[in-house]
Amino acid sequence: MGSAELLGYLEDCRVLALQEIQRIIPAEQREASPLYALMLDYPLREAKGLRPALCIASCRALGGKLDAVVRSAAVLELFHNAFLIHDDIEDGSLMRRGGPTLHRTHGLPIAVNVGDAMLALALQPLLDNVAVLGLGPALRILQAVARMTRESVEGQALELEWIRHGVLDVTDDDYVRMVEQKTAWYSFITPVTVGAITARAPQERIDALAAFARSLGIAFQIQDDVLNLRGQESDYGKEIAGDLWEGKRTLMLLHMLRGASEAERREVARILRLPRPEEPGDASSEGSGIPLEALLSRLVEEGALTPPGEARLREALRAHDARGPVKTEADVRLLLSLIERQGSLEHAQGVARQWAEDAERRLAACREWLPDSVHRRLLDSLVAYVLARVR
């Protein structure tokens, strides 16, 4: 499958999932309540459609029907977008899919509630599978989604704990365990599992496809971390170097720490403990060259502020100062320079390549019972796509 055909398949599946999501969130509800309208904010932004494509391709490659799987594929996409809203809040992210994150535009309380509502809304379509697939397969899909949710939040909790407690002695195996839980389960393992259950595949075949998906998911996440440092924001769709601003323990950071001097490790630890600034402008280490107190005094002297205005600004300034130091652009540049000097990006790409090649071998072993079709070729092409990203 060529690149154009791959992208076309992904887009077709994304559109199918979006149409189902719009049926799950009826138009009359979207018109009556901002809550339901905002549920479509992230799904309507440009995206790959990877999860519904994996779910649909796995089902169709095993002989399943499109109308039997498309609603489950849409539920997985709904979960994904809800997780993104919550992840962006937890990470303090600024950009998502080329636009500002939902909490930056609408505030934290509204964003949290929209994400919660999307998760709640995803339950009924899974129950509706009873009428389409029968009780047994519907319950197995519900069980798979329940496992996915637990694995995802446990992986997220592990990463947040490393950041919160300033943990540096994280091993590569620890990292792989974390990304398997946080990313591979909901983005790769569960989509192919749900697709295979819908096609009524035997358990040994479901397990074989899940093992392929696990390796592919780990490779994909490592390379996504690399792109976070090396990509272009217009192509990547998220904030470049956001992982460093957020203090995430990526494979590159762990590799860099192993080769750093003791003094460099102390400096890295200091930077990682700092919170990211609340607004992009707060991160500038150069700024306008005028301290805020001096600027405020100048405005008062010039008569540009009323006494009540001065009092309110001084109160805001005291609250700002009480937050303590935050990461600066200079801090993030230092982390980047250490990562580049240690060859940590190349190391991570090499590890990602090993996982992608393992996925390729596992999928090849499935070909004796996975006949050639456009759907199986989609799975083949996704392996090639991840391999191309890490070369």
Kindly report, residue by residue over 313-350, the tens digit of the pLDDT: 777 766 655 567 889 999 999 999 999 999 999 999 99
d(CA 78, CA 277) in angstroms, rounded, equals 30
Q: Tell me, yes or no, whether 253 lies in a domain.
A: no
Rounded alpha-carbon distances, angstroms, from residue 383 to 167, 199, 355? 33, 22, 10
Domain count, the chain: 1
Q: Tell me, yes or no, whether 71 lies in a domain.
A: yes
Q: Tell me, yes or no, whether 257 lies in a domain.
A: no
Q: Yes or no: say if 228 and 243 are a contact pair by the CB < 8 Å rule.
A: yes
Higher-pLDDT residue of 71, 288:
71
Closest CA to 388 of 342, 348, 344, 357: 357
Residue 359 one-letter amino acid: A
Q: Yes or no: say if 366 and 212 are a contact pair by the CB < 8 Å rule.
A: yes
Average pLDDT of every residue of the chain = 90
Instruction: Report whether pLDDT(288) > 50.
Output: no
Inter-residue long-range contacts of 82-85, CB under 8 Å, 24+ positions, other chains counted: 82/115, 82/116, 82/118, 82/119, 82/122, 83/115, 83/152, 83/186, 84/42, 85/42, 85/111, 85/112, 85/114, 85/115, 85/118
Whole domain around residue 115: which residue ranges?
3-239+345-389
Q: Tell me, yes or no, whether 323 lies in a domain.
A: no
Through-space distance between the first and last CA atoms of the chain, rounded to whole angstroms: 19
CATH code of residue 145: 1.10.600.10
Rounded alpha-carbon distances, angstroms, from residue 50 to 46, 71, 131, 262? 12, 15, 27, 42
pLDDT at 287 (0 to 100): 40
Q: Tell me, yes or no, whether 293 lies in a domain.
A: no
Q: Tell me, yes or no, whether 22 lies in a domain.
A: yes
Q: Tell me, yes or no, whether 147 lies in a domain.
A: yes
Q: Yes or no: say if 237 and 96 are a contact pair by the CB < 8 Å rule.
A: yes
d(CA 227, CA 241) in angstroms, rounded, equals 9
d(CA 110, CA 69) in angstroms, rounded, equals 31
pLDDT, tens digit (0-9, with 9 covering 90-100), for 60-89: 999 999 999 999 999 999 999 999 999 999
Question: Residue 110 — very low, low, confident or very high, per pLDDT cuts 50/70/90?
Answer: very high
Strand partners for 99: 96
pLDDT at 299 (0 to 100): 78
pLDDT at 235 (0 to 100): 52
Question: Residue 104 — very low, low, confident or very high, per pLDDT cuts 50/70/90?
Answer: very high
pLDDT, tens digit (0-9, with 9 covering 90-100), for 187-209: 999 999 999 999 999 999 999 99
Instruction: Report whether pLDDT(232) > 80.
Output: no
pLDDT at 1 (0 to 100): 80
Name the token pair of 239: 């904030």
Number of helices and strands (H, E) in the chain? 22, 2
User: Of 126-130, 241-245, 371-375, where does mean pLDDT reach its minimum?
Assistant: 241-245
Residues in the chain: 391
pLDDT at 238 (0 to 100): 60
Q: Tell me, yes or no, whether 290 lies in a domain.
A: no
| Strand (E) or helix (H) holding 58 | helix 50-61
d(CA 185, CA 193) in angstroms, rounded, equals 10
pLDDT at 231 (0 to 100): 63
Strand partners for 95: 100
Q: Yes or no: say if 179 and 218 are a contact pair by the CB < 8 Å rule.
A: yes
